Amino acid sequence: MVIHMKRILILLLALLLSAGTLTSCNPSEPTLSGEMETAFSTEASAESFAEETTIIPPIEWPEGAPMESITTYQNPILTYQTDQAWPGYGFGDPFVMRYNGIYYLYVSTKDGSVGIKCWSSSDLVNWHYEGFCTNDPLTRGAYAPEVYYYNGYFYMYTSPAGNGHYVLRSDSPTKGFEVITDNVGMSIDGSVFMDNDGKWYFYTAGHGAMQVYHMTSPTQMKNGRPITSVSVNNGWTEGGMVVFHDGYYYITYTGNHVLSPSYRILYGVSDTSPLHFEHMKEENPLLISTSGEVLGIGHSSTVKGPDLDSYYIVYHALLDTTPNRTMNIDRIVFNGKHIEIMGPTTVPQQAPDLPDIYHRFEPGSSLKGWSLIGSLGSGRVGLSLAAESMLISKTHFAGDFTAEYNVTSIADDGRAGALFAYTDAENFGACYFSPAEQKVIIEITVAGNTTRTEVDTVHSFGEDTRFDCLQSIQIERSGRDYTFYMNDRLLYTLENSDLSGGAIGYMTKDNEASFGFIGGTEAVGGCGGKNLFKAVSTQGGYIPAYECLDALPTITLKNGQRAVFASVGDILSYRVLTAADDEYDLSILCHGIETTTAIVDVYVNGQQVGSCSLPTKRSEAVTAILRGIHLTAGQHILSLRVTEGSFHAESLTMRKGSATMPLSVTFDTDAENPCYGDGTWEIIDGALTLSSSNSYGKVLYGSPNWGDYEVEVTVTPKTSPNCGLLVRATNPGAPTFMNTWPSREDAAIATDWVIGYFVGLTENSVSIGKQSYSYREIAQADGEFKAGTAYKLKVICEGARIQVYVDGELYVDYIDPEPYMQGMIGVRACGCAAVFDDLTVS
């Protein structure tokens, strides 16, 4: 069994959380700086708590409880100050590939300069400059170089200065790339995806949508067409990349101008093919930040983490109004049809985890920690084993695991590959390549009896797979099922195997072979993330519920996401890491199992900080919000204890909060220093005015971390009304780098470029629209509102509840099942002339 400090801490926590006896039926006094709030402003009384709730021991956290020594990193990872970075240009369009256990980074070449630079890393955090991987004159201003390994060669795709594409090739990831094609044309940002069936696809930027081409060889593309559902507001769309994970194809892509703070990353998903994607409108943008310490996020790549189980998104961000860009990484979570980014972060967070077994074999490498059965071979590449030999790890995996193997060469008449779940000569699994047969052979031996499965190797372009160069195997064990991959492409799934856990290693048959990196980790399907501390700060703060430290059952919801089944007595604990002594807001998203009210007590390090009630309905989402939780800087254990009811917990979000400050804007002389503005606004007769009958614009005030408040404004539509208030608003955007008041940008283009709620008046209704760089109406009430009439519009935001009043009359009372929890306030007009006055916040 693999044992680490993190495993010891989990065991210690389990003991601590189950210790103690109940001394009072009253919830502990919340240690909050402000008023404790729930999503629905309801809280069980002490009497009902005692009468209706199963008695559960309190959580105890002894003073001085041990914390773990962890390695951290902080974005940006690389900047213009990094050794050998392009001066004044930095790390634009970063692409990271992983080969034989090492990461390789390629970035765009500074305009007017020649050559493509390369860096390497073993952990995604610490990077070593490898030099120029090519100095070919054609690479002047090379945009977005991407490199893919296939059958012994590394193929590079780049668009020099945006003038078509060229393909370069090398037998090394760090040097010797030579141009092997003429200009093959197409737009910028070429990206390759290799499907499980061996087919290749080429994605490029385009106006209105990403473009996709079939590939007939590594250098030839044909039959291009737009992916119509993959677009950024039907405008310029670039920086695409496709990955396959757990039965789904995901495409990430970028749009708007690269120098805009609202440059952003979006995604689409498909469960059928890499040609037809569903644009996830409600979840997009996937990653955006238009102000603060990080902005202008875009052009990403996605790569498997060092632990072989997690994934990370690598992206650039702007430093200023020039193309000077930094490189950042954050963990990406695939969950059914959904993607979440645990960022953007700019605070220290835990570095990507390393696997439990990590060994990069080179000639002469130490075999400490390994058992050799047979003998070493004579090869000069990697680890060479003689025929009929095995190298077996002394570390065993008792349960689920993920392992990767790299075979660097096999003799023509030999066979070689991976050992897994090895306990002895009578009980083990083998997955090996047979070059002569062009097959992958899987043998399962249990109690001396062997079953054999043969699978054809994954071929591309009708070519044989070469075995005189590196080919890799990945194996995942989940329960009794084993899933096999060749070069990260799905190969075969063995269900309900009787083979139990054991060691991993390499094996040869008939002749010698050589091997490279081998790694293994006690996690599968992204579950390894539960051991990582989640960074909570001003932005980000997403926590998948299934990554709790506790052994609770998981289920799959109708939306395809994994969730945790939680009922009375269950405790869900999570590691969180804070950079500052501050107040934080917590939201808990759940799905009901039955119509009832669930009660959840919230603890930090064993001390209760509040309680939330969740009125649940079967299969419906509900969110509770608890504000003002004080956390000191450092490591904490956040725990949810269910004291009543049951539900499926989907996710948590914890971010820095900010008390709402009273605000009064009269517009007598100016716009009172807004945080953001777009559109052609004027101050006329002491009021904020858009005069044109076809005007667009928004103006925002306050803090993006404000939580609950009451907002009021007098609004007078001057033409057919479509105007009102923005609440819980974050990340407002403009087409280019203009983020000052007053902006003269084309506000019509950016009318929906904000995340938050728009509460608007039209001729015949009051409506609440949910904005996420698009618009979706979520609630509406009939009414009659005329041009030229002044209306007093009031919005109350409390937890997940939004109430809308016009002239003192309640029109809409809506509870959002998945609410925005924080944001600024402001005014907005969409295609009409309007006058706003006397804006107040309390």
91-105 per-position pLDDT tens digit:
999 999 999 999 999
- pLDDT band, very low/low/confident/very high, at 264 (cuts 50, 70, 90): very high
User: Picking from 209-213, 474-478, 591-595, 785-789, which range would have the lowest pLDDT averaged per residue?
Assistant: 591-595
In terms of Cα–Cα distance, which of 595, 644, 611, 820 is closest to 41? 611
pLDDT, average across residues 5-27: 35
Coil vs helix vs strand at 613? strand
Within 10 angstroms of residue 277's Cβ, the number of other Cβ atoms is: 23
Question: What SS3 class is residue 661?
Answer: coil
Locate 140 and state its tokens: 């002047």
Cβ-contact 644, 820 below 8 angstroms:
no
- Which residues, including other chains, have CB under 8 Å from residue 425's CB and lie 6 or more apart? none
Cβ proximity of 169 and 178 under 8 Å: yes
Report the pLDDT value the prediction gives residue 12, as an integer from 0 to 100: 40
Would you say residue 319 has pLDDT above 90? no
Hey, is 18 helix, strand or coil? helix
Cα–Cα distance between 700 and 723 in angstroms, integer? Answer: 14
- Residue 773's nearest CA partner among 286, 237, 439 is 286
Contact of 454 with 436, CB cutoff 8 Å: no
Choose the weakest-confidence range: 45-59, 420-434, 534-548, 734-748: 45-59
**Mean pLDDT of all residues in 429-453:** 97
User: According to the model, what pLDDT value does residue 745 have?
Assistant: 58
Distance of CA 548 to the CA centre of its chain: 17
The 8-class DSSP code of residue 561 comes to -
Residues 6+ positions from 665 with CB-CB distance below 8 Å: 671, 672, 701, 838, 839, 840
What per-residue confidence (pLDDT) applies to 59?
63
- Per-residue pLDDT, averaged over 737-764, amounts to 77
Please state, in angstroms and rounded to a whole number, the distance separating the CA atoms of residues 748 and 731: 17
pLDDT 10s digits, 180-198: 999 999 999 999 999 999 9
- pLDDT, residue 531, reads 87
Both tokens of residue 5?
């400090």
- The pLDDT of residue 27 is 30
Q: Give pLDDT tens digits for 351-391.
A: 999 999 999 988 788 899 999 999 999 988 999 999 999 99
Percentage with pLDDT > 90 across the chain: 78
pLDDT at 211: 96
Q: String of b and e for 19-41 (b: at least 16 CB within 10 Å)? A: eeeeeeeebbebebebebbbbbe
DSSP track, 290-354: -STT----EEEEEEE-TTSS-EEEEEEEESSSSS-EEEEEEEEEEETTEEEE-----S-EEPPPP
Average pLDDT over residues 804-822: 97
Based on DSSP, count helices (H) and strands (E) in the chain, helices before strands: 2, 63
Q: Express as a percent the part of the chain with pLDDT over 70.
A: 91
Average pLDDT, the chain: 89
Minimal CA–CA distance to 711: which of 828, 801, 797?
797
- Mean pLDDT calculated for residue range 703-723: 97
Query: CB 99: neighbour CB atoms within 10 A?
Result: 18
Residue 60: pLDDT band with limits 50, 70, 90: low
CB count in 10 Å sphere of residue 543: 26
Residues sharing a CB contact under 8 Å with residue 424, sequence separation 6 or more, in sequence order: none
DSSP-derived secondary structure letter, 59 = P
**pLDDT mean over 261-266:** 93
Asked whether the beta carbons of 213 and 223 are under 8 A apart, the reply is yes
- Is pLDDT at 3 greater than 60 in this prediction? no
Residue 14 reports pLDDT greater than 70:
no
CA distance 743 to 753: 14
Banded model confidence at residue 412, pLDDT cuts 50, 70, 90: confident
Does 19 have pLDDT greater than 60? no
Any residues with CB less than 8 A from the CB of 63 and at least 6 apart, and which?
A: none
Q: Which two tokens stand for residue 178?
A: 């030579």
Closest CA to 615 of 643, 640, 647: 647
Summarised one tens digit per residue, pLDDT across range 131-180 is 999 999 999 999 999 999 999 999 999 999 999 999 999 999 999 999 99
Give the pLDDT band of residue 41 (cuts 50, 70, 90).
Answer: very low
Taking only the tens place, the pLDDT of each residue in 753-804 is 999 999 999 999 999 999 999 999 999 999 999 999 999 999 999 999 999 9
End-to-end CA, the chain: 57
* pLDDT tens per residue, range 384-410: 999 999 999 999 999 999 999 999 999
Residues 526-533 have a mean pLDDT of: 88
Which residues make Cβ contacts (< 8 Å) with residue 809, sequence separation at least 6?
none
What pLDDT is attached to residue 57? 59
Contact 534, 510 (CB under 8 A): no
What's the predicted TM-score (pTM) here? Answer: 0.92
pLDDT at 256: 85
